[in-house]
Amino acid sequence: MTERRQLSGGRLVLATHNKGKLREIAELVAPYGFSVVSAGELGLPEPEETGSTFEANAVLKAVAAATSANLPALADDSGVVVAALHGDPGIYSARWAGPAKDFAYAMKRVEDGLKGKSDRSAYFVAVLALAWPDGHTEVFRGEVHGNLVWPPRGEKGFGYDPMFVPEGRSETFGEIEPGEKHAMSHRAKAFSQLTEACFGRKTG
């Protein structure tokens, strides 16, 4: 097995233009001594997500940002996988929200697809890819399983959070406090693997 490449402090590009993801990832990264800058702040374009998996798209985005900025870059590709919709929206979760990125519309599309179906199980996937300017990448995947509810509840999350209730809870991700969500989410699980493998100790 190839040894993981370490990254300790310094500047790190967060390769996302999604404000919700940017906020969550910045909060997760903060204790490790990184000075973070977003792809949007650097004026980097959003690459077309042509991969057929979460892993491929995360790597594509991380490598594009790292090579353009000549800095290490962290990218996330995530979405919700709905069993009764044959895995949709999956890697197309953001696209289901349309050009306006209207996730109320996206959630309604999911709910319309579930009409008449008894299986409302779903799971969130987050894949984090850490890339260096030389093209080296490290990839980590996290999942959290649960069920979908309607109507959506809560305004504390983003994306599909207001209709997703994680296993063992009664609140949606839109109702759970951000700090608590960070401790249990798909992104937190992927991030935990990443920090153990690639980041130094927490600062402070």
State the catalytic residues.
77
DSSP assignments along 114-160, one per residue: HTT-S--EEEEEEEEEEE-TTS-EEEEEEEEEEEE-SS---SSS-TT
Round to whole Å and give the CA distance between 158 and 140. 22
For the chain, the C-alpha Rg in angstroms (whole number) is 17
In this structure, what token pair is assigned to residue 88? Answer: 């949709």
- Decide: 125 and 141 in contact? Cβ < 8 Å: yes
Q: Tokens for 156?
A: 């504390």
Report the distance separating Cα 172 and Cα 154, nearest Å: 7
Work out the end-to-end distance of the chain between its first and last CA atoms, rounded to an integer number of angstroms: 32
